[in-house]
Structure formats: structure tokens, C-alpha cells
Amino acid sequence: MVTATRIQAPEVTETRLLINGEWCDADSGKTFACINPATGDTIAQIAEGDAADVDRAVKSARKAFETGPWSKMSARDRGNLLLKLADLIGEHAEELAALETLDNGKPITEALNADIPMVQAAYRYYGGWADKIYGDTIPVDRAMGNFFCYTKREPVGVCGQIIPWNFPLLMMAWKWGPALACGNTVILKPAEQTPLGALRVGALAMEAGFPPGVINIVNGFGETAGDALVKHPDVDKIAFTGEYKTAQIIMANAAPTLKRLTFELGGKSPNVVFADADLDQAAQGAMAGIFFNQGEVCCAGSRLFVEQSIHDEFVDRFKTLAEQRRLGDPFDPQTEQGAQVSEEQFDKVMKYIDIGKNEDKATCVTGGERFGDKGFFVKPTIFTGVNNQMRIARDEIFGPVVSVLPFSDFDSLVSDANDTQYGLASAVWTKDITKAHAFADAVKAGTVWVNCYNTFDIAAPFGGYKFSGHGRECGRNVLDHYTETKTVWINLGER
Ligand code: NAI
Ligand code: MG
């Protein structure tokens, strides 16, 4: 943990678009306001890219990919650029953490101790991969002749990357790291709610020495800039993180140009507490599972299944922890929960709290209201008496709101846990390893945590079943999504 000396909100040094190695205004001259969610105040006006700027960025990325210095650079040198960027991120950790806090509303302590170290680790890890991505030699049938057959791994090309606002710099690192390690060129479209961090990392990447056109950043809105990237005929691939409804639009819009697509989408992840669990540990896990990052986490444990025999006792413990959480100024090092990212998300969360109380008729045992009188803060909220048919148990709320569902037998637990359109993550708390493995086998989810929650490592694959996505990020798995495999046959002839 980095110590809790107070870090100030940083100066915003860049607000423009990054295209072909140069900072520029949007063609239209338009800008949009970047809002501080802790106060509702405007931080800066940000260049608002649209189709014209995306087109310029795509042209520069295409040129860099086909004929620029990048196209001739050795894989090891590409890796070294990523390692250099990782070093620069380490040197600017406090500034970057403060930008994330200012822009997103997350606590500075978490930005500094969770987000930025994970960002740095991602660039390091993929920097290490760059010169270790290669093909195979294939033992083809001799009866056909004397052939030497081998595969090569080549970059896909120009990649559009559209990211959300909950972990802005980490989502960027998960996209840039593998794409650049594989030799692609990229156009990043950050979320309109959180444009600041990407611009600073873009500047650091230029300082690290990425050639012009290799990395481009076009801030702007999804329906304009994002849409143009998805439809652009010269973009080879779109990697997207966000809502499944947006992914459906992207899929349809990408169909005419048959782009490669990878998606990391939402969840309604089951977090299961058996009566034989270490209940202190499980209560902490339930809390971190849903309230970390203001509940703005795709893998949040938003459906908490608790075995009937310990239900009341467990809810008491969990409620006590929820009520102890320190909400407030995200720049206060003591703060554990900051602001929701935007007024729109705040309204969405408050709408679901209202649905829980008045439509689903669940019991709100704590929270259920805003915190303070400015900014977009929501108290940690626990609903009991929830069943899987209720809207608060079905829809992704993406805020600090959890539904507690009792269960009494294993088979109905598994069927309820899987009765969701999503399949991103899950967790189980028990001392019985047989039960833990049985649940891990039965649950349809891309990640299963046993006696832990939200443990992440850039080396461990992450992604979803069903409506939670296509493909995996992190680890070596993602490299398959940023490369094409070329099979080469050489007729050696007979000697
Ligand atoms: P979104 O999916 O609309 O936005 C994510 C990114 O996609 C942003 O960069 C946005 O500008 C872009 N985008 C939006 N429409 C687009 C389009 N038609 N074409 C191309 N790009 C487009 O998510 P939003 O509206 O910010 O949040 C809505 C809900 O989505 C949240 O309440 C939450 O439930 C979920 N969500 C899930 C995330 C995850 O990590 N899986 C992250 C953010 C939101
Ligand atoms: Mg949207």
C-alpha cells in the first residue's frame, strides 16, 4: 500500500485528439464537457471526435501498419517500447491515479494501489510477450509429397478499441498491451465519461517512442466516434468492453465489413456462501464483491446466494460491514467508496433501488438512498427477500446494490445461479473442497473464485459465457484474437 499522504487533483495537460503522432482538435471544432462526478463541476472541455477524425486516425493507423517503421520493427523492439511505457507509468503513478480519481470518482487509495499497478503490470506482461508469439512446424502427411509446413502469427491489422469508464486506464492497457505486442496499430475510443487518463498515457506512449500512427486516441461519443470506427471499411477488428446492448449494435454494424470482434460485457454474478464457510472471510468477500469501485464492476457479485441456515446471521454481519464503509471525497485517502461515474449512472442506480423497493417489493435492509447533497454518491444498499425473477436480480445495475437470495439445496442453487443471461464470474465460499469443485464445474461463468473475490492477474484469462462476451482478455488467450495464423506449405521436392 502506498501511504495515505494527500494527493491533489492534477492539472489536465491535454484535451485534444491524438492522430498520427500529433495532438489536434476535432475537424468539426466541437468539444464536450468532462465532469467531476464527486462535485458535478466541469473539469475541462475535451475535443469531440466524430467520423471525420476517425477516418483520419484509420488512415494514419493503416499507413503505420503497412509501410511505417512499425511494420519493419522487430518484435523485441516492440516489446521494449511497451516496457518503456510501463516504466513511464510507474514514474507517473500518482498523477495517473489522481486523473482516474478526478475523472471517474473512485477513491484515490484504490486508484493508486489497484488500478495503476495493474495498468503497469499489463504493459510489462505484454511487453514480455512481444518476442514470444510464434507459429509451429506441422508434421503433414508424407504420402502427398515432401512438404515442409509451418505457421506464422501475423498481426490482424488496424484495431478499433472501444472502452468503458469504470477502469479507464486498465481497460486501455488490456486493449493496447496485447494489440501492440502482436504488431497491430490501434485507434482507441475512450468512454465519453472518462477521457482524461487515456490522453496522458497517450502522451507517455509518444515519449516512450511509439512511431506516429501506431497509437491513436479519438475521444467522442459512442453513437458518433464509436459508430464510425465500427463501420469503417479499413478497420480489421473491434475490441469492445461495455453493455451487451451496445455489443449487439456493434455486431450488426460490423457485419457488412465482417470485422473480427471480441467483447467483454456485463454480468449478474452469483456469489455463493455455504453454511460451512469462514463467515468473517465470506462477509468481507461479499462486501468487496459488490461494493468495490462503487459497484461499477462487470464481475460484481450482485446476486449473493446465502444458505438458508445462516441467512439471518450472515445478513447481519454483511449489513454491519456495509454500514461501516467510509463514503466521501474520493481524494481523501480514508475514503473507501467514491462517487458513481455520472449523473446518468446515478439515476440508473436510484431507479433500480426504487424498483427493488416498490415493484419487486424486496426488503431494503440498509442504504437505499443517496449520500450527501452534491455529486453522485449512493449508499451501499442490500436487498433481502429477493428471488431470481425480480428485476433487481435479473438486470445489471452497475452500482453498490446487492440482492440476497436464500438457498437450501445444491441442485436448485446451481440452477438459480445459472438462470441468468450472463456468465462472467462467480464465487463460492465453503471449507468443503468437494462442494467447491462441484460448483466450479456446474456454474456457467468465465471465472470462478473459491474463498476469494475480485482476484485478478494480467496472466489469468478473463471473459464471459453467454451475454457476457466473446473471447478472453488477459493471459496468452487474448493474443489469438490479435493475430492471424498463416499456414505456409513448401514443396521441398524429392532428393
Ligand atoms: P456503453 O456500452 O454504451 O459504452 C461503452 C463504450 O461504448 C463507450 O466508449 C461508448 O462511447 C461506446 N459506445 C456506445 N454506443 C456505441 C455504438 N453505438 N457504437 C460504438 N460504440 C459505442 O455503456 P454505458 O452506456 O456507458 O453504460 C450502460 C451500462 O452498461 C452500465 O450501466 C452497465 O450496466 C454496463 N457497462 C458494463 C461495463 C463492463 O465493464 N462490462 C462497462 C460500462 C458499462
Ligand atoms: Mg450507452
Distance CA 217, CA 199 (A): 7
Our answer to whether residue 159 is catalytic in this structure is no
Can you list the residues of the chain whose pLDDT is less than 50?
none
Which residues are CB-neighbours of 296 under 8 A, at least 6 positions away? 165, 166, 340, 341, 345, 398, 399
230 lines ligand 1 (CB under 6 A): yes
| Distances from the Cα of 365 to the Cα of 71, 316, 324, 362, 484, angstroms | 59, 9, 14, 9, 52
Contact 267, 298 (CB under 8 A): yes
Could you tell me if the CB of 192 is within 6 A of ligand 1?
Answer: yes
Residue nearest to ligand 1 atom 40, measured at CA: 298
The three-state secondary structure class of 256 is: coil
Under 8 Å between Cβ of 405 and 388: yes
For the segment 276-316, what is each residue's pLDDT rounded down to a tens digit? Answer: 999 999 999 999 999 999 999 999 999 999 999 999 999 99
Residue 344 CA, ligand 2 centroid: distance in Å: 10
The CB of 49 under 6 Å from ligand 1? The reply is no
Q: Which numbered ligand comes closest to the C-alpha of 342? A: 1
Q: State the distance between the two ends of the chain, measured CA to CA, in whole angstroms.
A: 66
Rounded Cα distance, 139 and 133, in Å: 20
Burial class (CB in 10 A: 0-12, 13-18, 19+), 143: exposed
Question: CA 256, 258, 264: angle at the middle one, nearest 5?
Answer: 115
Gap from CA of 192 to ligand 2 centroid (Å) = 10
Specify the pTM.
Answer: 0.98
Distances in Å between the alpha carbon of 24 and those of 53, 217, 219? 10, 10, 11
- Identify the pLDDT of residue 4: 55
Q: How far is the CA of 70 from the centre of ligand 1 (A)?
A: 31
Q: Which atom of ligand 1 is nearest to the CA of 190?
A: 9
Do residues 22 and 184 make contact, with C-beta atoms less than 8 angstroms apart?
no
What is the spatial order of strands in the sheet that 22-24 belongs to?
22-24, 17-19, 215-217, 185-189, 158-162, 237-241, 260-264, 469-470
Task: Tell me if residue 298 is catalytic.
Answer: yes
Q: What is the pLDDT of residues 231-247, one digit of tens each?
A: 999 999 999 999 999 99
384 lines ligand 1 (CB under 6 A): no
Q: What's the rounded Cα separation, in Å, for the pair 142 and 451?
A: 52
The residue nearest atom 13 of ligand 1, judged by CA position, is 222
Tens of pLDDT, residues 139-158? 999 998 999 999 999 999 99
Ligand 2 centroid, distance to 246 Cα (angstroms): 7
E strands along 213-269, which residues? 215-217, 237-241, 260-264
Rounded Cα–Cα distance for residues 466 and 296 (Å): 20
**Atom number, ligand 1, closest to the C-alpha of residue 165:** 43
Question: What's the 222 CA to ligand 2 centre distance in angstroms?
Answer: 7
Q: What is the pLDDT of residue 6?
A: 84
pLDDT the model gives residue 2: 58
Cα distance between residue 421 and residue 303, in whole Å: 13
Does ligand 1 come within 6 angstroms of the Cβ of 298? yes
Output the residue whose Cα is nearest ligand 1's atom 32.
398
According to the model, what pLDDT value does residue 5 have? 72
- Among 456, 145, 128, 402, residue whose Cα is nearest residue 286: 402
Specify the residue with its C-alpha closest to ligand 1, atom 44. 242
Q: Among residues 34, 298, 299, 474, which one is catalytic?
A: 298
Q: Half-sphere exposure of 234 toward its Cβ, with a 13 Å CA cutoff?
A: 16
- Secondary structure (3-state) at 158: strand
Task: State how far the alpha carbon of 489 is from the alpha carbons of 136, 140, 495, in Å.
Answer: 12, 10, 18
Any ligand 1 atom below 6 A from CB of 171? no
Q: 66-75 burial string, b = 16+ CB within 10 Å, else e? A: eebebeebeb
Question: Contact 486/151 with Cβ under 8 angstroms?
Answer: yes
CB of 346 sitting under 6 A from ligand 1: no
Integer angstrom CA distances of residue 127 from 77, 85, 123: 9, 9, 6
> Which positions ≥6 away from 325 have C-beta within 8 Å?
287, 291, 336, 337, 380
Pairing of strands 137-138, 401-407: unpaired
**Which residues lie below 8 Å from residue 326, measured CB to CB, with a gap of 6+?**
334, 335, 336, 337
167 Cβ contact partners less than 8 Å away, ≥ 6 residues apart: 115, 293
Give 246 Cα–ligand 1 centroid separation in angstroms. 6
Phi, psi of 285, deg, nearest 5: -70, -35
Q: Is 405 in the pocket of ligand 1 (CB under 6 A)?
A: no
